[in-house]
Amino acid sequence: AQKVTQAQTEISVVEKEDVTLDCVYETRDTTYYLFWYKQPPSGELVFLIRRNSFDEQNEISGRYSWNFQKSTSSFNFTITASQVVDSAVYFCALSEAKDTDKLIFGTGTRLQVFP
Amino acid sequence: EAQVTQNPRYLITVTGKKLTVTCSQNMNHEYMSWYRQDPGLGLRQIYYSMNVEVTDKGDVPEGYKVSRKEKRNFPLILESPSPNQTSLYFCASSTGMAKNIQYFGAGTRLSVL
């Protein structure tokens, strides 16, 4: 069965610290897609990144980086030199090629960055 | 600007009073979906639609109805709301394939008293 686990419910850091948000997924499909979304205090869901199951290259976008490891079924998200504006709930999600109907979300990790 | 628009953003109602949350997208997407977000549970899919007049249940459809008469609109209907439907609701749209990014509306916070 498909499942996404975000074991960290809440993380607090001080500005400029690096922080990693963990995401572990389960799927039997060989073709799947992984996503990260950000939910700032205003409540909307903002797309951050998509990776497909055939592309294990890590990705960096500014202070954000993502580490995709199929061997451990993980898709972790690191924020370098965190800022107060990074405070949000972050969701990891999975969609499978054989089941295009849904996005399976983890329970989210609340990140609080203190000045 | 490409967007998914939900209305209202906030709604307080009483048990049993029918309500509709509207959702509209301007990206000509075939696929639309409704999710609810609850603390500790993440987002769970309520209903989805692959195209006009094609709808199907998600993981938590009980107590909800939807319709898709036009491609751009996908309203969520609560015929007889109950307090356990107090939640944050999101509408989403995409081109319909698993790889495609789902774009979300700003959310509707519903309280049923």
In the predicted model, what is the mean pLDDT of residues A85-96? 96
Rg (CA), chain A: 14
CB-CB under 8 Å, B88 with A43:
yes
Token pair for A96: 């499978």
Chain A residues close to B109, C-beta within 8 Å: 43
Residue A8 pLDDT grade (very low, low, confident, very high; cuts 50, 70, 90): very high
Among the ranges given (A38-47, A100-109, B11-20, B37-46), the one the predictor scored with the smallest mean pLDDT:
A100-109
- A76-113 CB burial, b ≥16 within 10 A, e <16: bbbbeebeeebbbbbbbbbbbbeebbbbbbbbbbebeb
Across the range B11-31, mean pLDDT stands at: 95
Residues 76-115 of A with CB under 8 A from B: 91, 93, 95-103, 105-108
pLDDT at A99 over 90: no
User: What average pLDDT score do residues A102-110 get?
Assistant: 93
Average pLDDT on A79-85 reads 97
Per-residue pLDDT band at B19 (split at 50, 70, 90): very high
Cα gap A55→A69, rounded to integer Å: 10
Whether B45 and B53 have beta carbons less than 8 Å apart is answered as no
Across B94-109, b (16+ Cβ under 10 Å) vs e yields: bebebbbbbbbbbbbe
With a cut of 90, say whether residue A101 has pLDDT above it.
no
**B41 to A107: CB separation less than 8 angstroms, yes or no:** yes
Q: Is the peptide bond before B8 cis (omega within 30 degrees of 0)?
A: yes
As a whole number of angstroms, the distance between CA A25 and CA A93 comes to: 8
pLDDT tens-digit readout, A20-39 = 999 999 999 999 999 999 99
Verify whether the Cβ–Cβ distance B42 to A107 is below 8 Å: yes
In the chain, the amino acid numbered A27 is: T
DSSP state of B101: P
Q: How far is CA B22 from the centre of its chain?
A: 8
- pLDDT for the residue numbered B2: 80
Q: With contacts defined as CB-CB under 8 Å, which chain A residues touch B102?
A: 47, 103
CA distance A65 to A81: 12
Q: Count CB-CB contacts under 10 A for residue B76.
A: 22
Residue A38 touches partner B, C-beta closer than 8 Å: no
User: Does the pLDDT value for residue B97 go beyond 80?
Assistant: no
